[in-house]
Structure 1
Amino acid sequence: MTQRTELATVRDRLAVDELVTEYAAAVDDGDWEAYRGLFTPEGRADYRSAGGIEGSAREVAGWLAEHLEAFPVRQHLIVNRRVRFGVREQDTGDTARVRADYVAPMGRTGRDGGPAEPDLVCGGRYAFALLRTDDGWRLSEVVVREKWRRPPGPPTAPVIG
């Protein structure tokens, strides 16, 4: 690999990582216009494993806006990001896949405007598909695979015996 190629790869990795971070921030902030802007025009998202819908970024943004309204306090963390750039024949390096784990605590507004206790915490794995466009990297697909969920209320003690 030449130094120029290595630099381009590093720049692409940073841009892809920034896009995934912008995705998390848009969802947490409820910025659905920004959310839609992260996708290609044909971009799709699939939240069915978390009880949601599958559809265009516009449709899913509407669904998220409606269903996350009950949890105005959101801070989801996307970790363990594994980035792979296109390797198919005739791929010019303009596609990428990111597999990343997430933890998403969500809560209602805290008492007296103070910090909120999480009312719901869930976790799982994202599969992001990205495409390099004239406007930079954009999401062509997001698939959510929820693995676990802790509902509101105190944890229940295990039954022994």
Structure 2
Amino acid sequence: MTALPELSDRLAIADVVAGLAHAQDDQDWVAFRRLFAERVTLDLSTHYHGRPPATVTADDLVELARTTLAGFDCTHHAATDLLVRQAGDEATCRAHMVAYHHVPAEPGVVDHCTMRGRWDLKLRKLDGRWLIEHWTVVRTAPWEGSPDVYALAAARVAPRT
């Protein structure tokens, strides 16, 4: 009779993935933080500027996400086609990802960027909750628009001197 607990875990993992997309778009940093273990490996090596993987605290990850997304007028992260593999209290989840980002820009400047790729997540069940321990963002297609919108967004929230 293990089918029901396995199904329950798969649904909980799907809720984590959906929660990750919604928390970013809603800029709900409390909800975002609840999705992660205390320490998280973040791998953006194929996404933006080829940053190598780094292990950070969940609070530092929240701050990175907050400062990255704060300057955008809107974002839309759509995660689909979840492929979940579970073994006990450990799981992986691969989700197709389309992420749209928009920032106001001067006429003639590209004001949006769409990334197509996937999220590769490693999760662990701790105290009855599935938490992300490893988050890889893999860009699998060329940018649509311009990744320069990240710099435009950052400039909107940079401290003025």
Aligned to 1:133: 126
C-alpha distance after superposition, 1:38-76 (max 9, x if no partner): 111122322333226534232232222222222131111
Aligned to 2:66: 65
Aligned to 1:12: 9
Aligned to 2:96: 101
Aligned-partner residue type, residue 96 of structure 1: A
Aligned to 2:83: 82
C-alpha distance after superposition, 1:113-155 (max 9, x if no partner): xxxxx71111111110010111411111111111231124xxx
Partners of 1:51 and 1:68 in 2: CA distance? 14
Aligned-partner residue type, residue 13 of structure 1: R
Q: Does 2:148 align with 1:151? A: no
Q: Does 2:18 align with 1:21? A: yes
TM-score, normalised to structure 1, is 0.75
Q: Identify which range, 95-104 or 118-127, moves more after superposition.
A: 118-127
Maintained 8 Å contact 2:39/2:55: no
Q: Which runs of 5+ in 2 are unaligned?
A: 105-110, 147-161
Give the ranges of 4+ consecutive aligned residues of structure 1 lying more than 6 Å apart after TM superposition. none
Aligned to 2:34: 37
RMSD: 2.2
Q: Tell me how many residue pairs correspond in the alignment.
A: 137
Give the match's secondary structure for 1:70.
coil
Q: Which runs of 5+ in 1 are unaligned?
A: 87-92, 110-117, 153-161
Give the match's secondary structure for 2:143.
strand
Partners of 2:96 and 2:26 in 1: CA distance? 19
Aligned-partner residue type, residue 128 of structure 1: L
Partners of 1:48 and 1:61 in 2: CA distance? 19
